[in-house]
Structure 1
Amino acid sequence: MQFDRLRFPIKLTFAIVLALFVGFHFNLETPRWAVMTAAIVAGGTAFVAGGDPWSGALRHRGMLRIIGTFIGCFAAVAIMIATIRAPAVMLLLCCLWAGVCVWLSSLIKVENSYALGLAGYTALIIVVSVNAGNGSPLLAPQFAVERCSEIVIGIVCAILADLLFSPRTIKKEIDREIETLLLDQYKLLQRCVAHDDKEEVDKAWGNLVRRTTALNGMRSHLMMESSRWQKANRRLKALNTLSLTLITQACETFLIQNNRPHYIPPQYRLLFEKEINSLAELHKHLKTLRRVMSAAGSKSTPVTLVSWVGAATHYLLLLKGIHTNSRISRIEADVLSGEVVVKARSAETHHAMINGIRTFVATALGSLFWLYTGWTSGSGCMVMLAVITALAMRVPNPLMMAKDFLYGMTVAIPLGAIWFMFVMPATQQSMLLLSIAMGLMAFVAGIFIQRRQIGTLGAFVGTLNILVLDNPMRFEVNAFLDSALGQVIGCFVALLVILLIRDKSKGRTGRKLLNRFMYAAVSALTTNSARRKENHLPALYQQLFLLLNLFPGDLNKYRLALTLIIAHQRLRSAEIPVNEDLSAWHKQLRHTADRVIASRSDDRRRYYYQRLLSEFETYQQKLLHYNAPMAVAEPVHRLVDVLTRYQNTLIQI
């Protein structure tokens, strides 16, 4: 539809023009901050989304920007008060603050990391701007207050534009996705029961993992949209676990048949050959499956199929409640309060440290060079160094984002020159003409931003910055060239820093993730009822999704990780004999597995890994001694076999 393609450019234009009008109407000292904030909040959200963002996303980003700005302003004032007599120390402390904020932002959720990154470079911008002015630190509090107030105005303008121009709700997309996701889960089970080609099964479950992760991200957007979706949010959170359970049980059915071809009885093979094309058909088919399983009894029914049918039944129950957002029934409440979900710890600690070092080194070297030379473009260069190294580090490809900024800032020079030297001077007698000139630029930029055209966002924001929308406006060509040159050089230096300080943490992170899967499988061996009720599945699949992004195309790593997740789930539900001897061995196995993860050298890691394998041999003998059922001995044997075959992958980087 034509309006859908034009809605975001109109929204961006309205936000920019409104921020411009408010800034000049209330005689703000630097109205460009309000305009740039509206552009960054609205444009940045659309660039990430690849189009008009969902309702609530822009508001969430705006609130994060307000929080980050206030934290950064308080930090800037505190640093300036403490080091008022030592400008070099003051700047280095701001660089250290920026590095620490980037390091911490790399350890938290991506959607919340924006606030910390912003807090880091806001403090540096305030200190740099004060020193670039008249050098009086006494202006820092006034500068911080002005920046906060103008940023809040810009964010309010962006939010008003989002509310006025038909924000898109994500609820319809969620309703559609949860239906098609369940139907595709059934198709995966069909492939696994029929024991289809391994490559096809890998492709199917990998796609379902990505879609389940994306659905969980949609849940976050839904909660940003409105608090009235609280009940749907609870159901979607449980639905995430159920979807991952369906993937796990289907893949376990496939793996078991590698060693036991007759694991699936013929009557179940016939039942799962039926094609299902709608939820109504699936609902009827699940009823048939439950009746057949009840009549056949637990001994002749594969346990993975029983688990899959149970999870699919709960999925259908929650699906109806998500559609209607109705009151949670007693049966649903039992499903929702079944298990305690354990959150995943970040595996990117080394990557986070590299990010923090990059930001600190880039800004510190820039500060010292600026202080030593007194370079007039130094302040603009410092600002770009801080912004790029703070924001680019958390994206999947920091180098590409740095190039995007460099291309954009290069284009901003001729574009800004046309507006600064010809268009803007002709609009000084009329607010209407000024609004038309800025609105036209915003509208064209909005069309390219929602297409994710490389360099567009950087060019738009860079142009707004070098136009120097001050009150009153002064058209000084030297100041314009200084600002434009500083921006480009800052982007180039940031690109060099990313190239020179290489991030070699990919292999380390991959090994850490695989070791965590191994530890999860080992820690599932417990008779502690509280530990057995902990739901690690969402955390494990979150780490699996990170592994998929780190090593695209490496099927062996995915299979190993999935096999360990399956082992964890099977051992978690296995009826392990309860006695003190086995409990002591469970504790010993967890301790040794933890030492494998904690070891820093390959030799120590290999030593503890071999010790873990030998302890497992002893543990299997104890299971035979205590007459453990086949439902316990078999998954333990499969786990030991996997750990033995893949020990080099799990030990080496």
Structure 2
Amino acid sequence: MNAPPAASPSPDHSAARGAVKWIAAQTLDWARSDGERWIFVAKAMLAAFSALWLSFRLGLDAPYTALATTIILAMPSSGMVLEKAFYRFLGTLVGCSAALVLMALFPQQPPLLIAGMALWVALCTGGAAMYRNQQSYSFVLAGYTAVMIAVPSIDAPANVFTLAVTRVTEVSLGIICSAVVHDVIFPRRHSRAVMRTVQARYVGFIDFCRQVLEHGITPADAELHHLRFAADIAALESGRAAAFFEAGHSRSHTRQLHAFNAAFMTALTTFYTLHRLSYRLRMAGASPVLELVEPMVAHLAQSLREDLTPARLARMRGELAADIAAARARLA
């Protein structure tokens, strides 16, 4: 007996399946665009109201401090939140400690206390100018926190300890609420964005080098690209510091990113020098040096069009070293 033919799907079933696929696609698109923004807003509000409720529950003197801390720490990724939270706590703790020390040294001498605070603020300002990103922010916070604690206690030195403890408690409560909410509920890992940036920069820099070596880009555009790559170095260093605080980002990855950034900076400056010297040689006209350099440059540009596997890069290094040795022998 022949098997009965398989029943074809009904038009209603096909239409329902198509509708489900369309809804799933639209939902995924929304989750990648507006959905991320709304999730961020929801997490920021949850952290803020959690800190405010706990502050009222614990009977803290200034619940708005914990609320403001959660708003200040609201950042797009969990790594950025944890980084800023760490340095905010550190700056607050150091600033309160400095206020306690200054008040203990000059409890009844307001002029000396003001002079000590001025010196402390000057030191913190210098530290903020020396460092970047959240480290600079921590120095600024340590400076003005000491003033916020010490100045109201000039007429009542006995209150300085209470003010310092209250400030640290309120800020710590806001930090804990922000860190827990942003790192547990739909966390957005900064390390993934950093790795995508690294891959895009590698591809972009290789393409830029090839265009320059083939003389397919004007000197003005080359200068502009150099400035953009230099700005990317600082941006990647900032992203690496934020990714360090994420649990899934190991210390070995952080060291590798730091080494990559240092190597990229060296390659960028070296290639910029090579580009300027080559441009001056071409502007000066025909010369024996230019006749020797141009074939090597063309060979390197052609090699950059290939698939740059580790084995191919090793061969390119050997070929380039051989070409340089041959050129030096001809000049000798």
1:14 Cα offset (Å) = 1.0
Is the 8 Å Cα contact of residues 70 and 175 (structure 2) preserved in structure 1? yes
In structure 1, what residue type is equivalent to 2:197? Answer: E
Alignment match, 2:247: 226
Distance 1:301 1:246, change over 3 A: farther
Question: Does 2:274 correspond to 1:253?
Answer: yes
Could you tell me which runs of 5 or more consecutive residues in structure 2 were left unpaired when the two chains were aligned: 1-32, 282-288
1:71 Cα offset (Å) = 1.8
1:6-25 equivalences under 5 Å are: 6-25=38-57
Alignment match, 2:27: none
Distance 1:207 1:298, change over 3 A: same
C-alpha distance in structure 2 between counterparts of 1:117 and 1:231, whole Å:
30
Alignment match, 1:269: 298
Identity of aligned pairs, percent?
23
Aligned counterpart in structure 1 of residue 325 of structure 2, from 299, 310, 314: 299
1:274 Cα offset (Å) = 6.8
Give the secondary-structure state (helix, strand or coil) at the position aligned to 2:308: helix
1:416-431 equivalences under 5 Å are: none
Which shows bigger deviation, 189-198 or 121-130? Answer: 189-198
Q: TM-score, normalised by structure 2?
A: 0.75
1:22 Cα offset (Å) = 0.6
Aligned counterpart in structure 2 of residue 137 of structure 1, from 157, 160, 164: 157
Is the 8 Å Cα contact of residues 192 and 253 (structure 1) preserved in structure 2? no
Alignment match, 2:36: 4
1:93 Cα offset (Å) = 3.1
- Post-superposition Cα deviations, 1:109-164, rounded to whole Å, max 9, x if no partner, equal 33212222112111211123335xxx422121122112211221111111112123
Is the 8 Å Cα contact of residues 58 and 162 (structure 1) preserved in structure 2? yes
Is the 8 Å Cα contact of residues 87 and 135 (structure 2) preserved in structure 1? yes
Question: Does 2:308 correspond to 1:282?
Answer: yes
C-alpha distance in structure 2 between counterparts of 1:265 and 1:31, whole Å:
69
C-alpha distance in structure 1 between counterparts of 2:60 and 2:245, whole Å:
31
In structure 1, what residue type is equivalent to 2:241? Answer: S
Question: Does 2:200 correspond to 1:180?
Answer: yes
In structure 2, what residue type is equivalent to 1:239? Answer: F
C-alpha distance in structure 2 between counterparts of 1:267 and 1:107, whole Å:
42
What is the count of residue pairs matched by the alignment? 288
1:193 Cα offset (Å) = 2.5
Could you tell me which runs of 5 or more consecutive residues in structure 1 were left unpaired when the two chains were aligned: 47-51, 303-629, 632-653
1:267 Cα offset (Å) = 6.6
Aligned counterpart in structure 1 of residue 86 of structure 2, from 63, 71, 75: 63
Give the secondary-structure state (helix, strand or coil) at the position aligned to 2:290: coil
Question: Does 2:140 correspond to 1:114?
Answer: no
1:486-505 equivalences under 5 Å are: none
C-alpha distance in structure 2 between counterparts of 1:182 and 1:270, whole Å:
20
Question: Does 2:222 correspond to 1:201?
Answer: yes
C-alpha distance in structure 1 between counterparts of 2:326 and 2:58, whole Å:
78
In structure 1, what residue type is equivalent to 2:162? Answer: Q
Is the 8 Å Cα contact of residues 191 and 201 (structure 1) preserved in structure 2? no
1:2 Cα offset (Å) = 2.2
Is the 8 Å Cα contact of residues 80 and 190 (structure 2) preserved in structure 1? no
1:101-500 equivalences under 5 Å are: 101-131=124-154, 135-195=155-215, 196-226=217-247, 228-257=249-278, 258-259=280-281, 260-266=289-295, 269=298, 272-273=301-302, 276=305, 281-283=307-309, 286=313, 289-290=316-317, 292-293=319-320, 298-300=324-326
Is the 8 Å Cα contact of residues 296 and 323 (structure 2) preserved in structure 1? no
- Post-superposition Cα deviations, 1:78-105, rounded to whole Å, max 9, x if no partner, equal 2223322233443443233223322232
Is the 8 Å Cα contact of residues 222 and 229 (structure 1) preserved in structure 2? no
1:579-594 equivalences under 5 Å are: none
In structure 2, what residue type is equivalent to 1:216? Answer: E
- Post-superposition Cα deviations, 1:6-65, rounded to whole Å, max 9, x if no partner, equal 1222122111111111111122233222222222233xxx3xxxxx2x222212221222
Distance 1:145 1:281, change over 3 A: same
Distance 1:229 1:197, change over 3 A: same
In structure 1, what residue type is equivalent to 2:206? Answer: Y
C-alpha distance in structure 2 between counterparts of 1:65 and 1:271, whole Å:
49
